[in-house]
């Protein structure tokens, strides 16, 4: 944890009003980048999560029910089946994308590395 | 003893034998093994254990029946109880695993303060305990129907067995037992569902083929005095469907016994994949449940429509003995069906029997009926065991060790945990035999409280470094008080009057608003008070990255721009 020591000192007893640690030490740049990519991925996946479940399954269920496929009114299908399939896929995509991000940034765990080599 | 009873005994006996054997084989003595299974559970197995832990008697026994009577609005359970895993996987599991210790209140305590930890420990115990009572009751119902015991006997047998292996084995034993229980419960759920789908549509994939019967189901439902099956918002207003679904989702992501499961994996990466496997295994049951609901309801309605009261199918008489199926007084022919005892319909069918009775209603052979009973028991037992562990660890770790005896040894803490577990079993036997009049409401209570207490402070704790202890304590307390007040206002609990819903918001859905209140209060109060100390920022910073950075090949990473 050596890289955070200067940070601690500079903040002293009276930290800046709103933004936490100012002037990150130089090697913290990768951390920012990693975190913001993680957040971006998260926001995109959560948007899909919301649209499929609350959007198609609840808010738009009535208009979608006008379309019937294989006996299923579409809104009803999203509410009772489709959204669940999408949830499973979303988590898998998240885990896979994070694996890639971890190895790009060299923060993957030993077992990942072992498997990759 | 009837054929059904014999087969039930065989299946339940054999599966219990397997669970006890596994628990005995993996019994442990050290604290880490007891609470987090030495953090060495393989990802897929951990996923199956989460699934078994999560899917309780409510999922297995009640849900398909509820959906059968709610129709399209059954989505509140389907999406609500699965969508929460997306939140859990993306917002909570990997970070808490990185920080990784024993309990959820512990994270809250380290991130904020000892006071917040105590509030969280009490909330975790209350939430988990209300759940355990439901499981004991569920186990009792299965026994009373199939083994001819009374409910009291059923509850005691279930409690003794659950208590025995939970106390002996701890998390390691529970994890492997839960893997076995998942296998039993999913097989028990899928076999009858596939058989019924094949019988009714010729396609043995229930998820796909139940579309074919929806038209027919709509028509006969209306004939029998019920709503069109696929019509949305027939059972609840749209705003309420939205809020209840959201509340169940964030409640799921805030439930301590689910979160603690992600401490048992080998790594952060393992926690992410565990969440995937967990939801995958859960989805096998949750996508089948609406099919089971639809098939069973159509079978049920067709089987009794216009039939005279003395010529009803045999399942009606089998279940009439439990009081969960009743034929109206002086009814000669069945022309209407309902799940509500006050509806005055000719035949009243309780939601809870549909899954257990589904093979009987479809006329499947006795061994399948026995298998379903064993599955229901597996669901009830696995969840109860996981909950008992949360009670035990929250008590020994967050209350006994932190508040009562700071210099306690590992051994003493383990003993305190086991005593807490034993006490919880005793109290839940009592409460399972004499359930409070509002068991269904109590579940809503637990979810609403989890949503309004844990979820916001955990998520803010990870994603907002500026969040401080004062804010979190204020947020949790206002969130919980707000949610509990509305529930007490709208429900008949502890002798209070039930008042009408405000703005169509049901007590099950209020957790969503409670969570928003918690978020807002936490943010505002944090902003008004001093930021947390530097060590806390550092801790939050550290849980965001799976491991220490190692040298990476040059050019692989863009350096700070």
Q: How confident is the model at residue B558 (pLDDT cuts 50, 70, 90)?
A: very low
B554 has pLDDT over 60:
no
Alpha-carbon distance B307 to B333, whole Å? 5
B193 has pLDDT over 80:
yes
Give B40-81 pLDDT, tens digit per residue. 677 888 888 888 888 887 788 778 888 888 888 888 888 988
Chain B, window 51-70: residues with a beta carbon less than 8 angstroms from a chain A beta carbon: 67
**Interaxial angle between packed helices B114-146 and B469-490, expressed in degrees from 0 to 180 and rounded to the nearest 10:** 40
Those residues whose C-beta lies under 8 Å from the C-beta of residue B190, and which sit 6 or more positions away, are B284, B288
What integer pLDDT is reported at residue B38 of this predicted model? 52
Lowest mean pLDDT among B144-153, B327-336, B361-370: B144-153
B434 has pLDDT over 60:
yes
Interface check B1 vs A, CB under 8 A: no
Q: How confident is the model at residue B320 (pLDDT cuts 50, 70, 90)?
A: confident
A-chain residues near B197 (CB < 8 A): none
Chain B, window 477-516: residues with a beta carbon less than 8 angstroms from a chain A beta carbon: none
Cβ atoms of B546 and B267 within 8 Å: the answer is yes
What integer pLDDT is reported at residue B35 of this predicted model? 57
Are B78 and A79 inside 8 Å of each other by CB? yes
B-chain residues near A50 (CB < 8 A): none
Chosen for mutation from B76, B89, B207 (greatest number of chain A CBs closer than 10 Å) is B89
According to the per-residue pLDDT averaged within each range, which of A89-93, B139-143, B148-152, B367-371 is highest? A89-93
Lowest mean pLDDT among B235-249, B362-376, B499-513, B544-558: B544-558
**Interaxial angle between packed helices B3-25 and B114-146, expressed in degrees from 0 to 180 and rounded to the nearest 10:** 150
What integer pLDDT is reported at residue B409 of this predicted model? 73
Give A7-18 pLDDT, tens digit per residue. 333 434 444 444
Q: What's the start-to-end Cα distance of chain A, in Å?
A: 28
Are B531 and A1 inside 8 Å of each other by CB? no
Average model confidence (pLDDT) for chain B?
Answer: 78
Alpha-carbon distance B49 to B175, whole Å? 6
What is the spatial order of strands in the sheet that B347-349 belongs to? B325-327, B347-349, B337-338
Give the DSSP letter of residue B353: G
B520 has pLDDT over 90:
yes
Chosen for mutation from B217, B242, B524, B534 (greatest number of chain A CBs closer than 10 Å) is B534
What integer pLDDT is reported at residue A116 of this predicted model? 34
- Tell me the ipTM for this assembly: 0.83
- Identify any residues that bridge with A69 across adjacent strands, giving them in sequence order: A72
Are B269 and A77 inside 8 Å of each other by CB? no
What integer pLDDT is reported at residue B99 of this predicted model? 82
Q: What is the pTM of this model?
A: 0.82
Give A15-50 pLDDT, tens digit per residue. 444 444 444 445 567 778 888 888 889 899 999 999
Give B18-27 pLDDT, tens digit per residue. 877 877 776 6
Q: What is the mean pLDDT of residues B488-492?
A: 73
Are B548 and A107 inside 8 Å of each other by CB? yes
Identity of the residue in B207, B547, B552 whose CB atom sits nearest the CB atom of A81:
B207
What integer pLDDT is reported at residue B33 of this predicted model? 55
A-chain residues near B63 (CB < 8 A): none
């Amino acid at each position: 944890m050596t890289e955070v020591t200067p940070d601690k000192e500079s903040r002293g007893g009276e930290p800046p009003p709103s933004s936490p640690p100012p002037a990150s030490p130089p090697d913290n740049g990768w951390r920012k980048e990693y975190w913001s990519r993680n957040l971006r991925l998260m926001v995109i996946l959560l948007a899909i999560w919301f649209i499929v479940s609350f959007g198609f399954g609840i808010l738009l269920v009535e208009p979608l029910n006008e379309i019937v496929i294989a006996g299923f009114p579409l809104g009803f299908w999203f509410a009772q089946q489709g959204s669940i399939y999408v949830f499973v896929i979303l988590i898998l995509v998240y885990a896979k994308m994070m694996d890639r991000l971890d190895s790009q940034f060299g923060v993957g765990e030993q077992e990942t590395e072992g498997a990759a080599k | 003893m009837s054929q059904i009873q014999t087969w039930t005994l065989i299946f339940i006996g054999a599966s219990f034998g397997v669970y006890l054997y596994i628990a005995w084989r993996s019994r442990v003595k050290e604290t880490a093994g007891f609470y987090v299974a030495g953090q060495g559970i393989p990802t897929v197995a951990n996923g199956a254990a989460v699934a078994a832990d999560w899917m309780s008697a409510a999922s297995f026994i009640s849900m398909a029946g509820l959906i059968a009577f709610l129709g399209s609005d059954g989505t509140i359970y389907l999406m609500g109880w699965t969508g929460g895993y997306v939140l859990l996987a993306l917002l909570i599991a990997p970070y808490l695993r990185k920080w990784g210790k024993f309990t959820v209140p512990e994270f809250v305590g380290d991130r904020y303060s000892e006071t917040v930890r105590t509030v969280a420990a009490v909330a975790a115990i209350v939430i988990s305990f209300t759940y355990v009572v439901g499981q004991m009751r569920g186990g009792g119902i299965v026994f009373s129907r199939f083994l001819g015991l009374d409910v009291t006997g059923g509850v005691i047998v279930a409690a003794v067995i659950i208590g025995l292996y939970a106390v002996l084995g701890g998390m390691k034993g529970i994890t492997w037992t839960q893997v076995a229980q998942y296998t039993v419960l999913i097989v028990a759920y899928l076999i009858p569902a596939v058989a019924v789908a094949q019988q009714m549509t010729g396609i043995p994939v229930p998820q796909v083929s139940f579309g074919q019967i929806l038209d027919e189901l709509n028509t006969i439902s209306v004939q029998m005095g019920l709503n069109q099956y696929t019509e949305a918002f027939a059972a609840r207003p749209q705003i309420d469907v939205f809020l209840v679904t959201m509340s169940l989702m964030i409640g799921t992501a805030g439930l301590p016994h689910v979160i603690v499961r992600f401490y048992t994996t080998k790594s952060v990466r393992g926690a992410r994949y565990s969440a995937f496997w967990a939801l995958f295994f859960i989805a096998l049951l949750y996508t089948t449940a609406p099919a089971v609901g639809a098939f069973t309801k159509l079978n049920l309605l067709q089987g009794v429509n216009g039939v005279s009261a003395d010529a009803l199918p045999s399942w009606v008489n089998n279940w009439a003995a439990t009081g969960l199926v009743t034929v109206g007084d002086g009814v000669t022919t069945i022309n209407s069906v309902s799940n509500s005892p006050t509806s005055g319909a000719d035949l009243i069918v309780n939601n809870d029997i549909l899954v257990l009775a589904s093979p009987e209603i479809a006329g499947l052979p006795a061994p399948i009926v026995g298998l379903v009973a064993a599955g229901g028991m597996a669901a009830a037992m696995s969840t109860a065991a996981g909950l008992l562990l949360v009670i035990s660890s929250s008590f020994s770790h967050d209350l006994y060790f932190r508040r009562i005896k700071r210099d306690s040894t590992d051994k003493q803490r383990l003993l305190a945990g086991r005593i807490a577990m034993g006490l919880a079993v005793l109290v839940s036997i009592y409460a399972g035999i004499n359930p409070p009049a509002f068991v269904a409401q109590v579940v809503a209570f637990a979810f609403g409280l989890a949503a309004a207490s844990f979820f916001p402070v955990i998520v803010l704790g990870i994603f907002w470094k500026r969040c401080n202890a004062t804010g979190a304590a204020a947020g949790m307390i206002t969130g919980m008080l707000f949610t509990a007040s509305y529930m007490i206002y709208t429900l008949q609990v502890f002798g209070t009057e039930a008042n009408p819903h405000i703005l169509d918001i049901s007590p099950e859905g209020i957790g969503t608003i409670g969570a928003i209140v918690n978020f807002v209060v936490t943010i505002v109060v944090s902003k008004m008070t001093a930021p947390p100390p530097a060590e806390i920022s550092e801790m939050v910073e550290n849980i965001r990255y799976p491991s220490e950075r190692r040298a990476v090949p040059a050019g692989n990473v863009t350096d700070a721009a």
